[in-house]
Amino acid sequence: MEKDIIFSGSFLSINDCKVDRDEFNNLLPEGSYTSNEPYKVNVFKVTYEDHYLKLTSGDGNAKPRNPIVVDTDTQKEEPNPRQPNQVEPKETFGLLDFNTGLLWLSNSKKKSIVIDFLKIKFTTKSVIIKDVYDEKMFLGNLKQLDGIRVSAVPDIFSQSGILKKNLVDEIYGYEASIATVNFHYKKKLVNENLMDKIKNIFGSRNYLRNIMITGRDENGLGMLFNSDGFSRKIQFKARVDENEMYCVEDVYKKLLTRIADENI
């Protein structure tokens, strides 16, 4: 079985300079690292391959913990077998490309966790993750649209011009507290009219709860904008096991292949 996985790529800099492999090897040798907080754990595994650093991390909280679970076969309640001091880590995959300085993460919301971990090793240095684009560059490079997802209070869709008011009233009504609209495109070239709509979304972003815009530049390289900033994007399907956990080797093999193909 396979499942989609999306990587976002942003620039990692140390003291405002491009990352250096030798420095990383000295300060961050291969191995496993753990940081413990009350009811919380962060686990990191570091390995090196060619000009890449693989950083697999798992983080989770012991609480909140529901003392009851429901058996999916019997539909009956049972005591939660997970102990109060146990954590089910949520896995995040990271890959640092020393040639380009791009840090690829399977969950862009984990940037701060990665930064905090690296700051422990680079104690005297400034560790920063930077956007690949700004708004002007993103709009200027966006040639093909893959998708748009927008969340907002329903009335905002009509006020911002994203959807007509009568459509908002008919679909969502006035009792919905938040609504999400997904637009999916297949090799949709960005024409002037579509670009105006995208600019309108950017202009209304202070009123929107969530935005995600994905597309490609003229070279076919993936682009992504969401609440975590402007970044590159790589998406593919990777194998999962019977517990729907990703196969680590398959994820990195396919990610490295995609990066190599883009660098040709």
Q: Which residues pair with residue 3 across a beta bridge?
A: 238
How far, in Å, are 27, 116, 179, 225 from residue 214 at the CA level? 36, 28, 19, 6
Helix (H) or strand (E) holding 197: helix 192-203
Whole-angstrom Cα distance, residue 85 to residue 25? Answer: 34
Written as tens digits, the pLDDT of the chain (264 aa) is 999 999 999 999 999 888 999 999 999 999 999 877 777 788 999 999 999 999 999 887 778 888 888 888 888 888 888 887 777 778 999 999 999 999 999 999 899 889 999 998 898 889 999 999 999 999 999 999 999 988 876 555 555 555 555 555 555 555 656 777 788 988 899 999 989 989 988 887 877 778 899 999 999 999 999 988 999 999 999 999 998 889 999 999 999 999 988 865
CB 74 within 8 A of CB 227: no
Question: Which helix (H) or strand (E) segment is 167 a member of?
Answer: helix 165-171
